[in-house]
Structure 1
Amino acid sequence: MKIYHQSRSETVIRALSDFGIEESFAQAAIRFKEHYHYHISPSTAARSTKNTAQQAMEYIEEKLSNEHAENQKDKEPVDKMVVELDGCEIRTARFVPGEDLKTTSVYNNPVKTKNIKWRDVRLGFVKPLNSESKTYTGKMDSYQAVVAQMHSAAVLNNMTSATQIIGIADGGNGLSEELKRQFPTMQFILDKSHLKDHFYETVEELGLNQKDRPGWVKPRIKAISEGDVETVMKKLEEQYEKNQNDRLKRLIGYIKRFYDSLNYENFKSMGYPIGSGEIESAHKSIPQKRLKFPGATWNPNSINPMLALRILRANDWWNEFWMQREDQLMAA
């Protein structure tokens, strides 16, 4: 059975990983005892889950490699494909030597302090335009690395050079540019709710009271949605000449940057989504459900492997992953 001293069977490892990606490791140990009547410690659940998570990350990287994706060439190409990308922050911690350089009384080891940082985890998906089935990708990495994964997932889903890509995301610095660079046929659509947020932040800076703000924002959003961006821009620039407000200047620059991404009524008429709500909801069910427990902190090195396990589940690759592990074990 290939079970050695202090090792565990694949059935036990799978059960521990199953519990460990859904709940805290302490709760995973409780669930394991409840189902299998055998006591393990939370540290054992953590160690087993994290080892599996590392292998899951390697499995996904191999599955999304260009070599693997090339095998899909003989399948029927997709005419139109949607890609969405969004980020969320996960709390991470590292123990570092304290600034006062104190040492422990017995062994004179440096006294360490917990260095807390919030790190951006980026999650995306690709899917044919009229399909409900999505392929998720994600990691704590640069836009370039995350979008490269999305591109491989799109090829895996039969994207070709002729496929029209519809990309939806917010206006993060460099995000739309990277999406367009790696998906040259993309029609980028700026998430409409983020555009509204910029208008409301601007009108607040202009000093309008809360009751009057919708009357300033809604007509401008409506005009932009109907394709009349030029008129809105002209009026905003005239207002800026009278009121040299920095926030208003930023809004004008924001609209110029996404000038070709705002014709929402036209996009809707073609059946394109105009908001990134799907990927924002996926954040709650994929990374945040496990990695964002109240008060939880993670070693940065654990983020991508644990996220990979969550993505395996979301993509229905879970059984496939374990079957490959079993095949490798039997061949050893």
Structure 2
Amino acid sequence: MTTELSSPVVADGTGPAPAIWTEGLTKRYGDLTAVDRLDLRIEPGEVFGLLGPNGAGKTTTILMLLGLSEPTGGLVRVAGLDPTRQPLEVKRRIGYVPDSVGFYGGMTGRWNLRYTAALNGLDRATAEERIERLVDEVGLADRADDKVRVYSRGMRQRLGIADALIKDPDVLILDEPTIGLDPHGADQVLGLVRRLAAERGVAVLLTSHLLGQVQAVCGRIGIFVRGRMVACGTVDELAAGHGGRLVVEVEVAGPADADVAALLRDVPDVVDVRREGTMWLVGAQRDVRLEIAERLREAGVTVVHLRRRAEELGRIYRRYFAVEGSDDIDQS
């Protein structure tokens, strides 16, 4: 059973409460700890990605957020509400899209949405306005009056997102939202997720094994291993963890290579300098572009290219699993 919670507001006591907030959230099934002391904070308008293999604890976490499973310990709030004590109100504030969405196959997509709208107490005019807008946003405007039994899996996924948005939620939870979608359909869904966060302030919790898509749409990412959140932050912050480093590409016109290498190695927090074609690759513990530019300028070296090399999320993901002693990585 959860205990009473002091209000989870921002540090100075002003501003809105987080959309999702947990402290020490734990779920045990006998001797198995499915979720182990999870601390998580997701703000309104943020897109947060949750990564981990099957059995890592992602689904159990979602069930506790939805009020469908009671925590063994710790605290949880969604839109300021306790899912255990206020499950119906929480469900009204959350839109949830599972990885396999179920609908009435003999009804059209539009009528399935009307049914959901009625269950959520929307009047007919409001429901029709939202349905018309949502089927267009998810790319189903020309198929909304077809029966769902003829929909592809990808179409069902898009209809599921429209269905979750009918209630105009504060929080949207998407479990593998792009499964079954072609690249164009996936781009449509991810673009919709970005707009929901940026324009409506919806907080989005997204789970996926498609790491490139997570990297493209999520501001912060949490990595789950065996029930524990082993890392949380931006891609840059995750890249710097567990001995990782940021890489800066530098191309110059000026003195001899040896002089440039020495200048680059002399920049604080640079740990590695090597040549790759016409470019120098500078490994560092932080973003050192400003110091590199200044050091080379003072030495009379003309910089023709200076850029951060993007770290692939897949490489970061594998690094954390290697350190945590797990090789059960599903990146499908």
**Alignment TM-score, normalising by the size of structure 1:** 0.22
Give the number of the structure whose residues are more often helix, by fraction.
Answer: 1
Higher RCO structure, 1 or 2 (CA under 8 Å, sep 6+): 1
**Alignment TM-score, normalising by the size of structure 2:** 0.22
